[in-house]
Amino acid sequence: MGKLFFILFFLIGLSGCHAKKSTSAEKGEKGFLSEKKEIALKHLLIKATTEKVLGNYEEAEKIYLECLQINSKSAVTCFELSGIYLFKHAEEKAIEYAEKAVIYNSSNGWYKTNLAVIYQESKLYEKAEGLYKELITLFPERSEYHFTLAEAYLYQGKINEALEVYDAIEKILGPSADLIIHKHKLYLRLGESDKAIAEIQKLIDQNPANIDYYRLLADLYENEGDESKALEIYNKVLKIDPSNGTVHLSLYEYYRYHGNQDKALSELTLAFENSTVHIDTKMQIMLQFFTNSERNEKVKTQAYVLANILVDVHSNEAKSFSMYGDFLSRDGKLKEALQMFKKAASLDSGKFPIWSEIVFLESDLKEFELLEKDTQSALEVFPTHPTFYFFNGIANIKLKNYDKAITSLLAGKEMVFDNAQLQAEFFQYLGDAYHAKNEHIKSDESYERSLELNRYNPYVLNNYSYYLSLRNEKLALAETMAKEANNQVPDSPNFIDTYAWVLFLKGNYQEAETLLEKAIALSATENGTILEHFGDVLFKLNKIEEAISSWEKAKDAGGASQLVGEKILKKEYIEPVAD
């Protein structure tokens, strides 16, 4: 309130007419100035005030100080200077000149008000209190002075005195809701609950149809431990307004606090079924259920009941569907979650978190045709967000649309700033796309750029190593990368197979055999590529029958090379031809 008053008076001080009026009114204060000096003072005051209006406070200050050279006891000049110094946060000077203004013109209420406000801004509450009392004596009907006096009392912790002032204000203005609420809070601070209750009852008597006041009274009774009285008030509200959903929320809190969970859920259900209860209120409650239901099946069941009500009652709100989607996604119901988020997007296409959930779910579900389509839709709304270029690139790689994938990934990486990890992943998938097109130079460059940004990415290390081995190129580098990938992810059958294959090409058959035996043991199902490589190693170790058996298993498992049948037929290892 203090700052508000100061702004008001400061703006009044800016007006040129104020300066004009005060000059002529101050003849008794300044003595008998010559007519020449009086005219000069008046012109300087107008000039200074003009500069202040224009925001040229330094210049205005200089001119006001010139005014004091003409008349050192000019109250209006001191008043204006106090405002400038307060604006510049020079509180001591602001107080000095505000006090002078009051001394030089003690009958001017504006000057006293200005000084009182500056005292209050400077935390000199006792001095402010004295001035407000003077102002109330001078202007007993001016309620604003009573309010600021009450504020000064409150800053000093004089609550009883503040309450007396509020009683005086009530006599001037009549009872008002804001004033009564304020008094109610002060009585609570004093621990005088009976008087606090009486103030709320006064509100109810004045506004018997206002449900909020009944709820406030019920909460107050409950805080005082009078549970039966609180419940009586809540039930009274329902009789007055049976359709009031907010009361059901209060009853939900009431029963929950008192341990009656069934009754609490019943009231909460009624509140959720009520369309007048704001969806944001319901969302806050659903967030609580989200946390509490993670390891509690009973609460989870209740949460799904509420989620269903939410989407029925607020069927045009994206929030309700996205909240339901969060529950489904968390509980592994990915297809159902996807449908919820898609419905949310249809209601509000401008929310990034909704589209983000959609593309992550489609990626997890391996719905790559949907992912390609929906990332395009998301990019229409968020054309500069790298996430959707990234997933569009992945979708097109999976769909073997390599040119489209490369276009998206190249565009998307340019949208990444201050995120080396994400840039590394863009280059990783560019490497995969270029490799699929047999553009090995670009593929190698992309993998190397990815490793510059994240040298320990096991997937890039493995893929780059394997693709080099397929071309029988840079085998020393391929071995180093394959070994590092296995250090990062030690029990991955595919990573072990890559390392073993590089060792095989380098002629280290014994170690390759040991590694492939481990890869086969770790595989959840028979892997045609691993079994074929194992057969190749066995052949080089002169274990011909075992090699043929492994090749036959590889052929049956699927995923082996086109050469596996010829190896079985000819009973010999056949060197693959690099692309």
| Structural domain includes residue 233 | yes
* Number of other residues whose CB lies within 10 A of the CB of residue 294: 12
With both helix axes pointing from N to C terminus, report the angle between 2-14 and 16-25 in degrees, rounded to the nearest 10.
Answer: 80
**Structural domain includes residue 542:** yes
Tell me, what DSSP letter sits at residue 575? Answer: P
Model pLDDT for residues 393-420, shown as the tens digit of each residue: 999 999 999 999 999 999 999 999 989 9
pLDDT value at residue 210: 65
User: What does the pLDDT look like over 243-298, one tens digit per residue?
Assistant: 778 888 888 888 888 888 999 999 999 999 999 999 999 999 999 999 999 889 99
Cα–Cα distance, 256 to 247 (Å, whole number): 14
Count CA within 13 A, CB hemisphere, residue 236: 17
Q: What pLDDT, on a 0 to 100 scale, did the predictor assign at position 363? A: 97
Taking the chain (579 residues) in runs of 10, the rounded mean pLDDT of each run is: 38 38 42 77 89 89 91 92 90 92 88 87 84 83 79 79 77 70 70 71 68 69 69 75 80 85 92 94 96 92 96 97 97 97 96 97 97 97 96 98 98 94 96 96 97 94 95 95 96 96 96 96 94 96 96 94 94 84
Tell whether 43 is covered by a domain: no
* Straight-line distance from the first to the last Cα atom of the chain, in angstroms, rounded to the nearest whole number: 80
Residue 100 lies in a domain: no
Q: What is the DSSP letter of 571?
A: T
Whole-number CA gyration radius for the chain: 40
Report the pLDDT value the prediction gives residue 16, as an integer from 0 to 100: 36
Q: How far is CA 495 from CA 54, 288, 459, 492, 504, in A?
A: 73, 43, 9, 5, 14
Q: Would 566 be classed as within a structural domain?
A: yes
Contact indicator for 500, 480 with CB cutoff of 8 Å: no
Q: How many domains are contained in the chain?
A: 2
Task: Name the nearest CA neighbour of 216 among 225, 203, 235.
Answer: 203
Output the CA–CA distances (angstroms, integers) from residue 204 to 6, 183, 192, 193, 243, in the order listed. 35, 15, 19, 16, 19
Closest CA to 82 of 120, 50, 123, 114: 114
- pTM, rounded to two decimals: 0.65
Burial code (b: 16+ CB inside 10 Å, e: under 16) for 366-382 equals ebbebbbebbeebbeeb
> In the numeric block, which tokens belong to residue 429?
């998938």
559 domain residue, yes or no: yes
Looking at residue 323, its pLDDT comes to: 97
What does the pLDDT look like over 519-543, one tens digit per residue? Answer: 999 999 999 999 999 999 999 999 9
**Domain assignment of residue 248, given as a range:** 193-269
Distance from C-alpha of 551 to C-alpha of 64, rounded to nearest angstrom: 101
Instruction: Answer whether residue 44 is part of any domain.
Output: no
DSSP secondary-structure letter at 525?
S
pLDDT at 256: 87
| Domain-ending residue, one of 230, 246, 269 | 269
Q: Which residues, in sequence order, are CB contacts of 414 under 8 Å at separation 6+? A: none
Out of 269, 290, 318, pick the residue that ends a domain.
269
pLDDT of residue 165: 75
Question: What was the pLDDT predicted at 4?
Answer: 36
Domain termination site, one of 238, 253, 269: 269
C-alpha dist (Å) from residue 363 to 281, 367, 408, 426: 33, 6, 16, 16
In a domain, 376, yes or no: no
Q: Residue 468 sits in a domain of what CATH number?
A: 1.25.40.10
Sign of CA dihedral 244, 250, 254, 257: positive
Q: How far apart are CA 433 and CA 206, in angstroms?
A: 75
